[in-house]
Structure 1
Amino acid sequence: MTEPTAPASQPATNVGKIVSLGGGHGLFQTLRAVRQLPSESITAVVTVADDGGSSGRIRRELGHVPPGDLRMALAALAPFDEEGRMWEQVLQHRFGGHGALAGHAAGNLLIAGVYEVLQSEVAALDVVGKMIRAQGRVLPVCADPLDIAADVAGLDDDPRIMREVRGQVAVASTIGQVRRVKLYPENPEPCGEVVDAIADAGLITLGPGSWFSSVIPHLLVPGVVESISKSSAFKVVVLNLTAEPGETSGFTAERHVHMLSQHAKGLKVDLIIADNFSIPNQSDRKYLERAASLLDAKVAFHDLRQNDGKGLLTDRHDPEKLAQALLYEFERRGR
């Protein structure tokens, strides 16, 4: 059953400063959700390990932090007016044709150009955010590009043999079973602004998104897990609606949580939010709750899926439903 939302007659609680960690489409939907909450500010913290497509080309040719997920976060924060919708389209627009610009996202080139002038990724994102009147701030988790490497089983005849697969695209599309991921360089320096934002937050969200390439990498940056665990914020993990082909193929919700606890020793969160329809079985829910206890977390189930407009549920989070769930749980737990 879907848990009820807070009565409409009650004044909504201000959740304070919001920090949302993730990347790609998952973070996009989360940002669209948290924008609906009464808050003081929103900060998106984005992974910087992408090595494919337009982002990968800019990274290889210019040595920049890959801008793709940063661009998507800015697009998610564009105002909901005519000018804001125009800027969202511009940022997301990809050039066609067969020349040097083919496949590049306009927003990626804009961020890269401003960075080359200012020589600061944070300053460049702030400038672009100001230009589009973004309803929040976007920060890279690190100021330098990262590489993801995974220990993968199932690539040899002997299933016990582990092979290292390196690169975000390779990890996301592997046909083997990902057992563990790590970052290169090891022990990267987190952005100071990220650590400060986490310390000041009233609500922190982690996920949904590609588990090994968008969510877990945040927790491998020294200082981030400690900052999250020490923060007095209400800390929420938003689970994916389904396992993703490739990196998490066949994963249960329980295994997703186990992967968080294995990669982030000492991580403590308050709540894990899961979709009602993704985990209808009571025994699977009990397994998930047992796994959540490793993070000192409770589990809440809500209707979170987006409707396709024709009565069918999609595999994407509905921002309005997620916003209602987050606010309800924030108020329910005495924050």
Structure 2
Amino acid sequence: MDPHPGLIRTEELPLYLSRPAKQPSGGPMIVSFGGGHGLYAALRAFRLLTENLTAVVTVADDGGSSGRLREELGGLPPGDLRMALAALCDDGEWGRTWRDVIQHRFQSRGPLDEHSVGNLLISALWQLLGDHVEGLDWMARLLRTHGRVLPMSSVPLVIEADVALRPGGPTSVIRGQSQLAATPGRVDHVRLDPQAPPARRETIEAVRAAQVLNLGPGSWYTSVMPHLLVPELAEAIVASTAYKCLTLNLPGAQAETADLTLVDHLESLHAHAPELRFDAVLVDSAAAADEPALARAAERRFGARLWSRPLESRRPRAHDSLKLAACYRDLLIDAGITVDEQW
């Protein structure tokens, strides 16, 4: 079942033909990449600026409810996809209620303990319909989301990394997103298994049609970097003439990137995707003040202008979606892109 009957498929068209001729009503066509709480914050911001929003989500989670369902049912891990759907629910009674329902976790002494209702609903749709994207589109219809959620690949992935447990020491291979997210060592190189996974056609179409592409914030090696390790997806991102933004994390991360400066974040991203360029790198102003070399690194590695604004919420190490929305609005207006007039 095609959720968009009559849509002309663009995967075989030249890039200049696959781009929209003009901005559609309801705001610019924005694609935001990531997973977990970082993507949630970005989506809650972008939904204030456009109705034409697509979330592209990592599919390598192997812990918690998602990991258990992945192991038992063999499909994609649903957790990060569920989080993105929850972010796109509106703030009316319907949206608030269904957001709470799909985010609810059972508490029991049996096998349902800590399973998310949304994970089970998504998994049920996948079994009934036999297609990941179709199942997510039906969930979006139920939730009446402001946008679409797509997986970055059509197969479940495993993240693997070479990690030095002490500075200058030998590296060990850490396998699995949950293991890598908790590693106390320094990540040297990250890769996917399988190494060249297929991307979803719908995801590539969304990237080619986008006017704005945003990467981050989120867990650097397990939510942000994986999008650039899917060859077809990385190629589409690099080739796109859309306005490209990189949203950096707030300082104070635990494990995974605990000893990395924000300049280190940029260097590691460049090492994994040397051809990638951005128009803007967005960072919290307090973090930028602590790293005066950040603006130069953004320009040198990505040809990007550094945008520094207060972005942290009252909750430590969490982005404030309203502050993010205000900054994204200014970025896009500065680039000549008209945002939704409802803002």
Match of 1:303 in 2: 310
Quote how far apart the aligned CAs of 1:320 are. Answer: 0.9
| 1:322 pairs with one of 310, 315, 324 | 324
Tell me how far apart the structure 1 counterparts of residues 305 and 239 of structure 2 sit (CA, whole Å): 18
Of the structure 1 ranges 14-23 and 26-35, higher mean CA displacement relative to structure 2 is found in: 14-23
Match of 2:48 in 1: 36
| 1:51 pairs with one of 59, 62, 68 | 62
8 Å Cα contact 1:183-1:217 kept in structure 2: yes
| 1:228 pairs with one of 218, 237, 242 | 237
8 Å Cα contact 2:51-2:147 kept in structure 1: no
Quote how far apart the aligned CAs of 1:293 are. Answer: 2.2
Quote how far apart the aligned CAs of 1:334 are. Answer: 3.3
8 Å Cα contact 2:281-2:298 kept in structure 1: no
Tell me how far apart the structure 2 counterparts of residues 56 and 221 of structure 1 sit (CA, whole Å): 21
Say whether residues 1:140 and 2:155 are aligned partners: no
TM-score scaled by structure 1?
0.90
Quote how far apart the aligned CAs of 1:64 are. Answer: 1.0
Mark the CA change 1:322 to 1:287 in structure 2 (over 3 Å): closer, same or farther.
closer
Matched to 1:299, the amino acid is: L
Q: Secondary structure at the match of 1:277?
A: helix
Q: Following TM superposition, where does structure 1 have runs of at least 4 consecutive aligned residues deviating by more than 4 angstroms?
A: none
Quote how far apart the aligned CAs of 1:136 are. Answer: 0.6
Quote how far apart the aligned CAs of 1:220 are. Answer: 0.3
Q: Secondary structure at the match of 1:29?
A: helix
Matched to 1:327, the amino acid is: R
Quote how far apart the aligned CAs of 1:207 are. Answer: 0.3
Matched to 2:311, the amino acid is: L
Say whether residues 1:263 and 2:265 are aligned partners: no
Q: Secondary structure at the match of 2:123?
A: helix
Tell me how far apart the structure 2 counterparts of residues 58 and 177 of structure 1 sit (CA, whole Å): 30
Tell me how far apart the structure 1 counterparts of residues 76 and 257 of structure 2 sit (CA, whole Å): 25
TM-score scaled by structure 2?
0.88
Percentage of pairs with the same residue: 43
Quote how far apart the aligned CAs of 1:179 are. Answer: 1.0
Say whether residues 1:253 and 2:265 are aligned partners: no
List runs of 5+ in structure 1 lacking aligned partners.
1-12, 309-313
Match of 2:17 in 1: none
Provide Cα deviations, 1:173-210, integer angstroms capped at 9, x if missing partner.
Answer: 01211111100001001111111101111111100000
Match of 1:214 in 2: 223
Match of 1:162 in 2: 171
| 1:73 pairs with one of 81, 84, 88 | 84
List runs of 5+ in structure 2 lacking aligned partners.
1-24, 338-343
Kindly tell me the number of residue pairs found equivalent between the two proteins: 313
Mark the CA change 1:306 to 1:96 in structure 2 (over 3 Å): closer, same or farther.
same
